[in-house]
Amino acid sequence: MKKALGQILLSLTLIASSASCLAGGGSEMAPAHRYEHQLNTISMMEAESLVGKEGVYFFDVNTLELWAEGFIPGAIYFNVKDWKKLLPAKKDAVMVFYCANRLCNASEIAAHEALKMGYTNVLQMPDGIYGWRLSNRVTEKP
């Protein structure tokens, strides 16, 4: 019994020590990227009130597969090579970027890129298309 208990404790010790070695992935810790522009977020309720309004642009930054499952009405598929051509000419146009959900940061990155280009009314909807669908809001399909 003592021998078995000793083996179990040794195994647990080895597992715990190897897990701490692998936790960092073998690379040095680095600070998170900081953006020079503050990003404004928008709730789904606020975003829903903007759908279909003139001068408001919704940009879907999801994968093509997720886009095909449904998107916010009127949204523009943004995950393309020449995405800069999709942006409005007016730098003060209201633009709402979204991706899958709060775990996805593609819309955050896209929104920051728009801010760097001089756009002033850039919003990001953190809940994304999954939150939109889960709350039974209207979607379109291509």
pTM of the predicted protein model: 0.76
pLDDT score for 49? 98
- Cα-Cα-Cα-Cα dihedral sign, residues 104, 62, 138, 86: positive
Q: Which domains does the chain have, with CATH numbers?
A: 40-134 (3.40.250.10)
Q: Counting Cβ atoms within 10 Å, is residue 109 exposed (0-12), middle (13-18) or buried (19+)? A: middle
User: pLDDT tens per residue, the chain (142 residues)?
Assistant: 566 555 554 454 444 444 444 445 556 765 555 556 689 999 999 999 999 999 999 999 999 999 999 999 999 999 999 999 999 999 999 999 999 999 999 999 999 999 999 999 999 999 999 999 999 999 999 9
